[in-house]
């Protein structure tokens, strides 16, 4: 389908350019022209579906760089607990009873929520199964994503088989919507030898199924809590002489295709290593606050030139997939902690949710900004709302005032997947019904096991 979006304000995220009374021409999956409506209307008269964006703002689709999409099935299941207890006594116990169909349904629910909130790309880490999985869910919902299989030292054989199947069947598939990643869970659940091996596997999978422009990336939790060095030492009977990032660097696993989630308890040397190795960070402020894990030193990373993107974390620890909430919290959190209102300004935060997110996923050549030649991943936000009036600065409103419910229309890969708040590729009611049934069956299996 060819589309002409017209009469809107375009926040391109390319050289911080804004076009008022702007238009975007889309042919198939690609943006072919961006300019003034008066010019593009004359040029693209026939053969284009017209989308009127008067009174609306058009942005690149938001990019969520850290998720566990299937865990929407556990939303609200185990709240108000510290991370270690939350994981080991509640989450890991119930996850043992999740079926491949549960994983598919949970990811489908997150995909629907993400699209309705203007998110067009999600980087998710979970358990991959060949039968039903997060990749299939994202493809069915027409959501762009990086799908990872989470790896642990206790199941190396199963992990390697899953990674091969995932990459073979899904990398750069679904009309280019899906890419894959290799996901060591964390430095305290993956031993040093296996970390090195997973780095080699990532490189091998890129050679077999990817390319320099479409690499398989590496996605790992790093320094989520201050006691992570002690966890590593206890788990693997080793002694850390540096911070967690220093430990990973000693294993020679860090490079520009690594995205490190959380990055809360970083030393200055850790940040220097990230800069040197071009490691990208995914900042998850709401999850980190809710689990009382701490606050990532984002201003320090940004000052040193580290790429920082934004993530929600799972719908079980956030408890939503709302990137507008993440943007606002990111902008105000670091101001409050540092007592400096100039830190993390709206423009920078919006970049973290778009173009910097694309860089974090090694996908910036195709997504993250509104430019000719890039994929048409867009969100159109309705500014005709009381909480968005009067208007002085669109970017400030997007970060500090806009809500996910203000997203009116979403385009992914050149396809309108939501128009006037109505999804076009999937039935919301059906997905919610599937999720309710899956939750009931999951609790039944858990109860039977406890008895």
DSSP assignment of 414-445: TEEEEETTEESSS-HHHHHHHHHHHHHHHHHH
If you average pLDDT over residues 373-393, what whole number do you get?
Answer: 98
Q: Answer whether residue 367 shows pLDDT above 90.
A: yes
Q: Answer whether residue 451 shows pLDDT above 70.
A: no
Dist CA 27 CA 39 (whole Å): 17
CATH superfamily of 62-360: Metal-dependent hydrolases (3.20.20.140)
* DSSP 8-state code for residue 114: H
pLDDT in tens, 53-101: 999 999 999 999 999 999 999 999 999 988 889 888 899 899 999 999 9
Dist CA 157 CA 154 (whole Å): 9
Work out the burial of residue 256: count CB atoms within 10 Å of its CB; fewer than 13 is exposed, 13-18 middle, 19 or more buried: middle
Dist CA 149 CA 159 (whole Å): 7
Identify the pLDDT of residue 325. 98
Asked if CATH classification 1.10.600.10 holds for the domain at 3-60+373-423, the reply, yes or no, is: no
Domain boundaries along the sequence of the chain: 3-60+373-423, 62-360
pLDDT in tens, 194-242: 999 999 999 999 999 999 999 999 999 999 999 999 999 999 999 898 9
Structural tokens at position 429:
């009611």
Q: Per residue in 52-86, is it b (16+ CB within 10 Å) or e — as a string?
A: ebeebbbbbbbbbbbbbbbbbbbbebbeebebeeb
Structural tokens at position 342:
């100039």
Q: Answer whether residue 297 shows pLDDT above 70.
A: yes
pLDDT in tens, 138-184: 999 999 999 999 999 999 999 999 999 999 999 999 999 999 999 99
Dist CA 290 CA 66 (whole Å): 16
Are the CB atoms for 347 and 325 separated by under 8 Å?
no
Cα torsion 431, 434, 440, 446 to 10°: value is -100
Q: Answer whether residue 321 shows pLDDT above 60.
A: yes
Phi, psi dihedral angles at 346 (to 5 degrees): -55, -45
pLDDT band at 45 (very low <50, low <70, confident <90, very high): confident
Structural tokens at position 137:
């869910």
């Amino acid at each position: 389908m060819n589309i002409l979006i017209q009469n809107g304000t375009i926040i391109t995220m390319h050289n911080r350019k804004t076009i008022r009374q702007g238009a975007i021409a889309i042919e198939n999956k690609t943006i072919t022209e961006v300019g003034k409506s008066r010019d593009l209307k004359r040029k693209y008269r026939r053969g284009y579906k017209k989308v009127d964006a008067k009174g609306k703002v058009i942005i690149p689709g938001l990019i969520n760089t850290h998720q566990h999409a299937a865990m929407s099935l556990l939303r609200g299941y185990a709240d108000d607990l510290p991370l270690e207890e939350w994981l080991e006594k509640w989450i890991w116990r119930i996850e043992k009873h999740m079926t491949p169909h549960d994983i598919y349904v949970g990811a489908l629910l997150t995909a629907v929520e993400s699209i309705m909130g203007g998110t067009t790309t999600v980087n998710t880490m979970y358990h991959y199964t060949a039968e039903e999985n997060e990749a299939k869910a994202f493809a069915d919902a027409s959501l762009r994503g990086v799908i990872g299989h989470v790896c642990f030292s206790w199941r190396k054989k199963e992990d390697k088989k899953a990674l091969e199947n995932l990459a073979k069947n899904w990398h750069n598939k679904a009309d280019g919507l899906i890419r894959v990643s290799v996901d060591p869970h964390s430095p305290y659940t993956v031993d040093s030898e296996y970390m090195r091996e997973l780095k080699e596997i990532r490189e091998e999978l890129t050679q077999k199924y990817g390319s320099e422009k479409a690499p398989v990336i590496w996605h790992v939790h790093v320094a989520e809590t201050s006691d992570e060095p002690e966890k590593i030492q206890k788990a693997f009977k080793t002694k850390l002489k540096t911070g967690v990032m220093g430990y990973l660097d000693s294993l020679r696993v860090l490079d520009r295709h690594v995205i490190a989630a959380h990055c809360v308890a970083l030393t200055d040397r850790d940040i220097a290593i990230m800069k040197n190795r071009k490691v990208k960070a995914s900042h998850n402020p709401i999850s980190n606050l809710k689990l009382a894990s701490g606050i990532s030193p984002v201003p320090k990373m940004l000052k040193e030139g580290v790429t920082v993107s934004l993530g929600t974390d799972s719908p079980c620890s956030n408890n939503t997939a709302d990137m507008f909430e993440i943007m606002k919290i990111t902008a105000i959190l670091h101001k409050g902690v540092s007592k400096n209102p100039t830190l993390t300004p709206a423009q920078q935060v919006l970049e973290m949710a778009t173009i910097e997110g694309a860089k974090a996923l090694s996908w910036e050549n195709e997504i993250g900004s509104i430019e000719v030649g890039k994929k048409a991943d867009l969100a159109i936000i309705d500014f005709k709302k009381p909480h968005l009036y009067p208007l002085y600065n669109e970017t400030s409103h997007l970060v500090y005032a806009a809500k996910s419910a203000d997203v009116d229309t979403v385009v992914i890969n050149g396809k309108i997947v939501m128009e006037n708040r109505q999804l076009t590729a999937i039935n919301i009611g059906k997905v919610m019904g599937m999720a309710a049934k899956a939750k009931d069956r999951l609790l039944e299996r858990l109860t039977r096991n406890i008895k």
